[in-house]
Every structure is written in structure tokens, then in C-alpha cells.
Structure 1
């Protein structure tokens, strides 16, 4: 039971950090975007780029978490077309976070819980980003009406 408790705490910390990354990114974008002296459509583009970078950082956070768990051992494994590298961990993380799930790398053991949490976290955070960008687009496109 002690091992499961550690896995739970580790997984909770990784998810918490991922949420915090996006929260901070969207908060900073909300402050920065209105101050940019550029056309509203380019502000939206800057917002998309900022959100994209935040999601990439979150995906790499999960990739490093997988890699760490695999190096420590005792938490399960990733099997299939997997060579144990950080790049394969990031590939698995990218496909898992976006719920694309090619299926060529499969989690086994306790690491499956982190994989499931990553998919759920990605779904929620991508939805949060879409909502944020919709609100920002509403602000800029109404404010910038008539401006090209």
C-alpha cells in the first residue's frame, strides 16, 4: 500500500504542476495581450502561440515523469515500440495528452494511472485553452472592429 501512496502523490504532483503551468500561462497572456500594440488578429495569434508553448511544456513535464518512473523502477513499464529514451517518453506523452493514442507504446503496471491522468488532464486543459481563446477573441475582435 505504501508504494501506491507514493504513486498517488507523485501523480497528483505532476497533474498539479501541469495545471499550474497552464494557469500561469493563461493569466500572463490575459495581462499581456491587451497591452500589445498590434492588430487584434495578431494578438489572438500571440495568444495561440503562448498557449501552444504552455501545452508543450506540460507534455514534456509528463514525459520527464514517465522517464523518471521508468528509471527508478517498480512503477511499471512502457512496452511495444519503446526503446526507453526520453524521446520515446515524449512521443508517448504527446500522443497520450492529446488523446490521439496511436497504441504503438502501451503502459503496464502502476504507470498506467499516470497515463490515464495525463489523457484526462490534456482533455481538460485543452478545453480550458479553447474557452480562454474564445473569450480573448471576443474582446479583441469587438474592440478591433474596423481595424485591419
Structure 2
């Protein structure tokens, strides 16, 4: 059971670390842009979406390889074993949309649960970051 905890922790740590680096670099990069504030916000939103997509793909790769490995569990239902299906499952899990057409079994259930929690926290973190960036130029009268 310890290998499951370690693997899940590593996947989460990579996703959170990537998110932190994206937001940190955006904090440094956006003020240097010599464009209107509203366009800096658009760049921030696009960069945040890219960061989230990369994090989803980190989880997707974990699902893909764990599904193929032994003693991790399986992704069942409408899952055909492809990396694309793993990414689709990851996107629906990360965003907590969860259609239910692909379902994890065995130890993959733990990764799916922690991905939902991670996605919720990181999406909220992005929303807070973008709010603070937008507020820098708002007239607060």
C-alpha cells in the first residue's frame, strides 16, 4: 500500500509544483509586458489554462501507465486503453465534471479521488491569482 501512497504523492507534487511555477513566473512576467492591463489578464488566463492542461496530462500519463501495470487497478467502462481516453478521464476528474462513462477500479480510485481534490484546489488558486491580477488595475471607488 505504501507504493500507492508514494506514487499518488509524486503525481500530485509534480502537478502542484508545475502550477506554482506557472503562477510565480506569471507574477514576474505580466507586469513587465508593455501592453494594456486587460491584455495582460488575457495572457494570464491563457497561460493558466495551459498550466491546467499540462497538469491534467500529468495525471493522464499516470492513469495510462498504472492501468497497464499490475496491482494498480483498471479504468473500465468506455475506456479503450488509449492515452487519449486516459486524458479524457483525467480532464473530467480534474474538473470534477465526472461523466461516469469511465470508472476506476482498484487502487486507481485513490488517484482519481486525489486528482479531483487537487484540481479543485488548483483551479481555485488560479481564480484567486487572476482576481488579484485584475484588481491591480481596477478603480476601487
Given candidates 123, 127, 131, the residue that maps to 1:126 is 123
Name which structure has the greater RCO, CA cutoff 8 Å, separation 6+: 1
Contact kept, 8 Å, 1:44 with 1:140, in 2: the verdict is: no
Q: Structure 1: which 4+ aligned runs deviate by more than 4 Å?
A: none
Alpha-carbon distance between aligned partners in 2 of 1:136 and 1:73, rounded to the nearest angstrom:
45
Alpha-carbon distance between aligned partners in 2 of 1:37 and 1:52, rounded to the nearest angstrom:
22
Name the residue aligned to 1:136.
133
Contact kept, 8 Å, 1:77 with 1:108, in 2: the verdict is: yes
- TM-score when scaled to structure 1? 0.92
Shift of 1:71: 1.7
Q: Unaligned 5+ residue runs, structure 1?
A: 143-148
Alpha-carbon distance between aligned partners in 1 of 2:70 and 2:109, rounded to the nearest angstrom:
14
The 3-state SS of whatever aligns with 2:136 is helix
Name the residue aligned to 1:31.
28
Shift of 1:85: 0.5
Deviations 1:77-110 (A, max 9, x none): 0110010000000000000000000000000000
Name the residue aligned to 2:55.
58
Q: RMSD of aligned C-alpha atoms?
A: 0.7
For these two proteins, the number of residue pairs brought into alignment is 139
